Structure 1
């Protein structure tokens, strides 16, 4: 079955198939234009995430299973009562880029056209709202001008605020392959951190966090100085050039903290290279000045006419699988469907008439941060959260969690009851998961793809569009929500886009409005627009924009003082982001043992000089605090971050770690234009966590370490692995292990302890098989975790207490290549024994790096590390 990956905005085509054992596997679709057969580690592991573990299989009201009829009647009645008593703005939907376009469309139609409020926002607000705002200010529409092929056709690719290698791995591999085939292609990375993406670059600009506007303003001024402005394009198609240039000249790039040599090299390279693509992502968007950062980039492309042509243009890469689809249907609180404007009376009337709606929202609704503040202060009486986990992912996550818990009525639609938000719901509705969902998604290059069901819905799960439509019918809007198939919804949506096209908007797929059910089922990937006159292609190369006068807008921009600055109590700057093998709050990826093998717990990247000053060593635990919250993270000492700056990932939740909810630390400071929160620059304090005993454990049963000072757990092939830190050493390690690891009294222990040194090693066997093991000591426990994780259910062997494999069993070491489960020691041994001298040679010998390629920068680093002793021989 051809379908589409449910992870990032690359939108890779996937072929789902059963193997000889009857298990579902996922491989890249070679005919899909986004990935051409490639998949990343997450996509490759999709088949491992389809089980029923943790699935929500029936509706629940107040924690008790019930039928659909009573659950839906309750939801419809409570929303109707809130609207009657307090008005339509007393209810809200918080939705997600995990929704398919058809789901998104029905949710938007119900809220804005029939409830009559615009209080529907999406977790895409946390991802790319600043890009939307920047596009609209410059182009008059939220239009991504270019295509993925532009990255391969460019002579210079600038990656700013984008760890493409880990966050959009397939695009990174397309770029890496283009650079290998055409070495003259130059890559510049702009990021305060040195990341896996940096390894591909010819120049890395480790700018001061938040100084992007100054950097690109300096570029604009330089372009003018050296005569690189396209005066013809600007004169015919752009407004605001003089004011933008004047502002740029008065914004010194020295505030970036970059050397004059690096600035000069970057500016000269950009100026002399016509075919430039600037790729930007969350490092730009997730900022209190994110919209200005976007427009500073767009200014440079507009001033040079380097937009909408092969190999040139600005390119926003989105974080979620259907973030673009959500933008198209008006999933954001300040938009209408089909890129129509909620504040434009003509647009509102067109949508109202098309829907035959009793009303239409007349002003923007509450954006995500403001929405949850309204929940907290009681303005929102009924809240419906769909496929997202704001109790973890929103800034000030503790306050958001408390707001949801205190709301009069909360509905959560999800595939699991086991996440921090679902546990707060009055009503839980079981939704279809990937593999069961049927509809469309749109990726970062405007490509609409089918996500097809190849599994039946599990238990009583239903598609999101069907749940929303049924609520619409029960609220009295029967005819408007009388849908029977997603194809029917898609046709209606495509027809509405034709009206938008006639109103001069960019989004128009009206040529698809007459698709039959069979044609919808067979729909091949297609980039919009799709009209009688045009299909796909680039925008703006002809100089025609979607502003009232058809001219693009350059904006006068000045760097603003940071919204948050370190002080004596909070001297460090906390940056947050993603890791390679996990996705958002791990509802899906945590089900795959191999995706947790690379990085199994939350961590803090800390500069060596800062670590020394704080008295922290690698693998110890740090307590990180801000004015909003607290986290406990494993220390990773590295020079990848600048002194005074730290990095932590955002994936861990209350389900997977004791104190890993990193967004609880992030203040809810937002961009004044886009409403997108600042997630990259929270002042924080760092201190060692007092620990009496560290431990590592594994067990076949899910561990319950709730009382530990710190814990983080992850799945293995046969059970669980667990990291622990205790504030007091147990008097009896065996009793403690039994309680935490879910062991029966029949499980017999093998045990070695040394009370004087504070060491304990225990292995529990039952029916001749290993059930659990625990290794403890006063310092972080050094073991072969990958070896131990593979020993669950092994036969009785006292050698397990050594924590390392015997001489006849090589230790693979920590996982580097998640696609093929290849460890660091295996790679080092192959490099040394086989005299491997390239990443390609490692791939030929071990397969590492030959699938998604995300580990290739780490393989290159291992080569460099191993080459030093080899050269000395």
Structure 2
């Protein structure tokens, strides 16, 4: 059965907060065909490279298929009883605050709701936090301080209607490419201008009218300058200020600010302010570059101050807009998944809010104060104050700052439970109990995207082995802990109805989140629920899924917004002689979090297959670091080894590294081991983009590149694995010379009996080995005294073939060489694009797209295509 006759199922992509709709069709063999849903309002059929490759990530390889206790498989009853008994014993002896949940934006809203209810209402502790603390907590804090609730005022349609879009700390072209395509479409249709505020020159700068490469952490200084310019230009909206408190104090603080803190040219600041003030319809989009800072909350409020002062909020094409990093970061915020919130945007600090939730749940206990935020939580684990920890769908041993200390804390915790789809993560390997959860295409429930649109996620594949939904696992533990009636759920629809009913109570208490009109949604209607933007209320006076605040109506007591007096604070860590470089961390185009999903897709790994460090050419020259050298990066907290990428996209004294690699894929590249656990004092969000580090060339005695038709088992000082269509590839390096390359290679490939062909030049430090069985290439290793120069993408496709010329490392002259993959959506290589530019006279990114399709899907490779066009034109200009 090939699945051709099966119907498509509407669902939602599990990656970023755009919340793209997808159409899924099982192939009948466990696989999945995926395409964008043309009717979903978030994406209208578009998908990014990651969404397009979802069908390559749903296999059962590496899946956790049965519960494990102390490393041994067991049945569900035994595992769940173990969890319930151990948590109950810890609570009885040490109190509820000795227990904690650390959850994830990968959970569906219904899962999140049950976890929050169990911890806050029944265990009686607020010690439930989420990895959304690492990406969106400063936005939550900023919204609450300004608006009274965590309200996103605008909608995606504002990106279509805006005449100016300002991207602050957001590489939207790579991290939210479907939204970026909407911005580019508006630019083409109506001349929308784009400003990028980012220390790096990113892919988002390719179409920008202005790039402001401000000093890391100086966003408050820039937006304070804008605030004063708004007043000086007479652009204050006096009518709107009737809905706002704090204007005078905010303005006085802004006038104290020095624009010199930004490091920008005065002319560029003036140009930016003139653009912003002179454009009536302006949307300021902000993301991790704003949030992941020790002053992240102030950065958010500095942006909000400007929109409030100018009255540019809540109307078409206007407003501040936070874009979230995870598929259900918003849903988690809605159910109180953060340690300092209650469900439905209610405040844990308010007695009337706590009483309302406790009465609704008929809960035996309710915490009286916020719980421990993520960094505090793992410090409490390390100190032994938290003795029972449940981690769900996240990998804090890699993703938390000071990751080595977090890994050690989890390892020493008295009792650790991990719910996940795989046992092969750095965190799962530390668990006492492993619980197999259903994965994305097997889960049923809802998620909420960045513009408050609730979408259904629908199961299209059967749960494999003994995997169960997260809401069910949590509920069954709650039942075993003695709360049978409260957790006697039969379906996610039942949980959704309860959540919707509670939102009606929250609305009566003056909160924004209200989906109470859906509280009686039947199972059939829930199953068919179309994308629905909240609020969805019975209250005729309430907004219906649109924008907030055009006419005021804020959620502070008194109904007014609040502007805050703010001053620039530099990053917590200061550069100096010992650590002279500022480290920025972030994502790459085709990978997601710690790659447990995207790492399964060969084409997503083809673009950037190895962890790297971007550094400026002058800094590289000063340090004696050449192209493709390895670099040792050291901070006060840890170290990493990364491949050098020498580029002027970063300023002198600044470096950038991606955060995706783990102990499973490149153990020396766990980048958050370098990041200090410094947090914003309001939001508790870590400063992940401003660590200070030292750099030195890694003095490798040898470098290697390997390909195999199966798994690889490296033991060298440096290694990085990536999936290929034929098996695996790896970059390798070692500090000590190797005498026995055949023995080393056999151990690397675990091919003790395969035939070997070897070429070795000891004087030049070169060794090349190919292993075959029955004439078929199984694996090959290429070793040199300097970074290995071979055609990697060509070699990665050879395992399993007859390939007689493998040891040359080069593609035969009579075969075309597409080069490294640049467009992951359509697998178009660099050499293919360069060849078409030369042979067909292509002169624009659009003409390359028309000829080769490259850049025509998600568009996230357009900036790289533009760079190839510039490179091709350079020789002509020199003539």
Give TM class, smaller chain: over 0.9
Alignment of 1:623-638 (within 5 A): 623-638=632-647
Aligned partner of 1:710 in structure 2 is 718
Q: Distance in 2 between matches of 1:743 and 1:173?
A: 47
Q: CA deviation at 1:872?
A: 6.5
Deviations 1:312-340 (A, max 9, x none): 00000000000000000000000000000
Q: CA deviation at 1:561?
A: 3.7
**2:621 equivalent to 1:615:** no
Q: Distance in 2 between matches of 1:140 and 1:796?
A: 66
Deviations 1:120-165 (A, max 9, x none): 0000000000000000000000000001111111111000000001
Aligned to 2:496, what secondary structure does the other structure show?
A: helix
Q: Distance in 2 between matches of 1:501 and 1:21?
A: 47
Q: Distance in 2 between matches of 1:725 and 1:6?
A: 35
Q: CA deviation at 1:110?
A: 0.3
Alignment of 1:145-544 (within 5 A): 145-183=153-191, 185-234=192-241, 236-532=242-538, 533=540, 534-544=543-553
**2:716 equivalent to 1:720:** no
Q: CA deviation at 1:866?
A: 1.1
Q: CA deviation at 1:407?
A: 0.3
Aligned to 1:429, what secondary structure does the other structure show?
A: strand
Aligned partner of 1:772 in structure 2 is 779
Q: Distance in 2 between matches of 1:263 and 1:275?
A: 19
Aligned partner of 2:759 in structure 1 is 752
Match of 1:139 among 110, 133, 147: 147
Report if aligned partners of 2:129, 2:372 keep a CA contact under 8 Å in 1: yes
Aligned partner of 1:61 in structure 2 is 69
Aligned to 1:53, what secondary structure does the other structure show?
A: coil
Q: Distance in 2 between matches of 1:835 and 1:763?
A: 41
**2:854 equivalent to 1:848:** yes
Aligned to 1:560, what secondary structure does the other structure show?
A: coil
Report if aligned partners of 1:375, 1:404 keep a CA contact under 8 Å in 2: yes
Q: CA deviation at 1:753?
A: 1.2
Report if aligned partners of 1:440, 1:448 keep a CA contact under 8 Å in 2: yes
Report if aligned partners of 2:293, 2:571 keep a CA contact under 8 Å in 1: no
Q: CA deviation at 1:22?
A: 7.7
Q: Distance in 1 between matches of 2:39 and 2:265?
A: 45
Aligned partner of 1:673 in structure 2 is 682
Alignment of 1:570-719 (within 5 A): 570-706=579-715, 708-719=716-727
Q: Distance in 1 between matches of 2:549 and 2:115?
A: 32
Deviations 1:799-848 (A, max 9, x none): 21111111111111111001111110111001111111222221121111
Report if aligned partners of 2:30, 2:59 keep a CA contact under 8 Å in 1: no
Q: Distance in 2 between matches of 1:27 and 1:701?
A: 29
Q: Which blocks of at least 5 consecutive residues in structure 2 are unaligned?
A: 1-8
Aligned to 1:659, what secondary structure does the other structure show?
A: helix
TM-score, normalised to structure 2's length? Answer: 0.98
Report if aligned partners of 1:191, 1:204 keep a CA contact under 8 Å in 2: yes
Report if aligned partners of 1:804, 1:811 keep a CA contact under 8 Å in 2: no
Q: Distance in 1 between matches of 2:876 and 2:816?
A: 21
Q: Distance in 1 between matches of 2:372 and 2:179?
A: 34
Aligned partner of 1:830 in structure 2 is 836
Match of 1:789 among 793, 796, 810: 796
Q: CA deviation at 1:752?
A: 1.4
Deviations 1:706-756 (A, max 9, x none): 2x11000011111100100011222121111111112131x1112211111
Aligned to 1:177, what secondary structure does the other structure show?
A: helix
Aligned to 2:764, what secondary structure does the other structure show?
A: coil
Ranges of 4+ aligned residues in structure 1 off by more than 6 Å: none
Q: Distance in 2 between matches of 1:775 and 1:252?
A: 55
Q: CA deviation at 1:867?
A: 2.3
Q: Distance in 2 between matches of 1:868 and 1:705?
A: 41
Q: CA deviation at 1:19?
A: 5.5
Count of residues paired in the alignment? 868
Report if aligned partners of 1:376, 1:402 keep a CA contact under 8 Å in 2: yes
**2:28 equivalent to 1:25:** no
Q: Distance in 1 between matches of 2:859 and 2:593?
A: 21
Aligned partner of 1:869 in structure 2 is 875
**2:84 equivalent to 1:80:** no
**2:564 equivalent to 1:555:** yes
Aligned to 1:16, what secondary structure does the other structure show?
A: strand
Deviates more, 1:225-234 or 1:647-656: 225-234
TM-score, normalised to structure 1's length? Answer: 0.99
Report if aligned partners of 1:119, 1:371 keep a CA contact under 8 Å in 2: yes
Report if aligned partners of 2:513, 2:535 keep a CA contact under 8 Å in 1: yes
Q: CA deviation at 1:26?
A: 1.1
Q: CA deviation at 1:544?
A: 1.2
Deviates more, 1:748-757 or 1:467-476: 748-757
Q: Distance in 2 between matches of 1:721 and 1:742?
A: 14
Report if aligned partners of 1:831, 1:863 keep a CA contact under 8 Å in 2: yes
Deviations 1:231-286 (A, max 9, x none): 1111x111100000000000011110000110110011111111110000000000
Report if aligned partners of 2:31, 2:59 keep a CA contact under 8 Å in 1: no
Aligned partner of 2:6 in structure 1 is none
Aligned to 1:25, what secondary structure does the other structure show?
A: strand
Q: Distance in 1 between matches of 2:695 and 2:676?
A: 17
Q: Distance in 2 between matches of 1:447 and 1:839?
A: 33
Report if aligned partners of 1:765, 1:796 keep a CA contact under 8 Å in 2: no
Aligned partner of 1:857 in structure 2 is 863
